[in-house]
Structure 1
Amino acid sequence: MANPTKTQGAQNDIVTVIPEVPITKERKPFRASASYSKLIDPGAPRANIAASQEAPHGTKDRNWASQHKDQTVLQQHCDFFDPDQDGIIYPHDTFSGFYKLGFGFFLSLLAVFIIHANFSYPTLDTFIPDPLFRVYIKNIHKDKHGSGTGVYDNEGRFVPQKFEDIFSKYADGQDFISSWQLWYMLKGQRLISDPIGWFAAFFEWLATFIMLWPDDGKLKKEDIRAIYDGSIFYTVAARQAKQKAGRSGQDF
């Protein structure tokens, strides 16, 4: 049986901040503590759950985690955009999905061009481009780009440490991130000579902000976690449909 004192001592011996290098003090990584013991080994990628301090077992609403246990978290993120569950996202699926999320006609159309022009080819099993620009979910891990948060690993798994780092490094450990902190994070995660990654990260987080559109300009941590596993898309779509039905009812 492990000695708790030794374990704690070893943890305290880990140096994460060097005074002579200010950026290490400015962006402190997440450190697991006894108060959050439910999140075990945060550095280990989770294949099929988006785990955080507050949700160590992933999304429980609608039995999401158990119903999607055979998908990686990145595949779960795409689930909403595959309504017929055939494992293929067509351009019209993307348009319909974004439209249901409240992006309107032109933004939904723009999303189709950006996503399918860039993310279709890597998911193909051949070297021949797909004239229909389909995205194959089984190979969605090949669409991972640079200059992101690193929350998804190269196989599409979810890394809790990287998720918690977003808020530890850029949001002072709070359970939300403001628009300015988000901009600072995008700058902080950029890699050299990676314009595709810069734009992809900017597009993804801009879409996130537009979809959630918080009145106070702060994106909640739990909402962001639910975006990673895609569960929040169904919640937002249902809310949009209800609001649309309400507006239609007022016309009579």
Structure 2
Amino acid sequence: MASSSDPSMETAAPHAAVTAERKLNPDLQEQLPKPYLARALAAVDPSHPQGTPGHDARGLSVLQQHAAFFDRNGDGIIYPWETFQGLQAIGCGFPVSFTLAIVINLALSYPTQPGWMPSLLLSVHVKNLHKAKHGSDSETFDTEGRFDPSKFDAIFSKYGRTQPNALTKDELNTMLKANRNMYDFIGWGASSLEWKLLYSVAKDKDGLLQRDAIRGVFDGSLFERLQDSKKSS
């Protein structure tokens, strides 16, 4: 919290307890250049000011990079069978992969179509992925698919109580509830599905979802690491 000598810089209001409970990082400006500037090509934080080392953005927005792992043939279109293959590659079992492939493509297909006609094959067009962004999320992705470092950092400053750079299962559930927009039932469900799936495949041996795993899911580099780990094991 900022010095009381400058009230305009305070991040907690005395009569709004939630602002003191969900803290912000007042030093982020010193830890990362221009943390308020949403990045189009790299998922950055103080430990990774240039983004993920060795991760090729290929000119894609960070949101597009997040989904590109599931574009198994690299043609810019993701079909349900590709989503299924990608989910299996990161360690999901057959029933989960099969069900989620249908659910995910069913939800994302129509908003990303280049025209008004729906796709009978439930194709998802990566170039239009920003049109499928849902509410009740962390807002780390802006509406154009850029990565907002300040919103990403707030995930941990607000909810990382056990460890400053990780989330427990309970802290994750607290965040999901806190991010809910009123009557946004689709957003509630989508956020819960995404984060709980992430927790199931990326939590560490202590049951913590580490900051770097979460950052890696935003630019898709986590999926590549999980795939490589599964292959090697």
TM range (shorter): over 0.9
Q: Tell me the secondary structure at the aligned position of residue 9 of structure 2.
A: coil
User: In the alignment, which residue of structure 1 is the partner of 2:216?
Assistant: 226
Where 2:35 maps in the other structure, the secondary structure is: coil
Give TM-score scaled by structure 2 length.
0.94
Structure 1 residues 210 and 111: alpha-carbon distance in aligned structure 2, compared to 1, 3 A threshold: same
- Is 2:21 the counterpart of 1:31? no
Computed over aligned residues only, the root mean square deviation of the Cα atoms, in angstroms, reads 1.8
CA shift for structure 1 position 99: 0.7
Return the alpha-carbon distance in structure 2 between the equivalents of residues 207 and 33 of structure 1: 29
Structure 2 stretches lacking a partner, 5+ long: none
What is residue 47 of structure 1 aligned with on the other side?
40
Residue in 1 aligned with 2:14?
19
Q: Distance in 1 between matches of 2:141 and 2:150?
A: 11
Give the structure 1 partner of residue 49 of structure 2: 56
State whether structure 2 residue 178 is matched by structure 1 residue 188.
yes
**How far did 1:16 drift?**
1.2
Deviation, structure 1 residue 150 = 0.2
- The yes-or-no answer on 1:215 pairing with 2:205 is yes
After TM superposition, the structure 1 = structure 2 runs for residues 68-217 of structure 1, keeping only pairs within 5 Å, are 68-172=57-161, 174-217=164-207
* 1:29-76 deviation line (CA, Å, top 9, x unaligned): 23235751xx1111110000001111111001xx21xx3151100011
**Count of residue correspondences:** 230
SS of 1:102's partner is coil
Residue 233 of structure 1 deviates from its aligned partner by: 0.7
More helix per residue: 1 or 2? Answer: 1
SS at 1:120's partner residue? helix
Q: Is the 8 A contact 1:32 1:42 kept in 2?
A: no
Query: How much has 1:78 moved relative to structure 2?
Result: 1.0
Secondary structure, counterpart of 2:18 in structure 1 = helix
Identity %: 37
Mark the structure with the bigger radius of gyration.
Answer: 1
In the alignment, structure 1 segments of 5+ residues that lack a partner are 1-7, 244-252
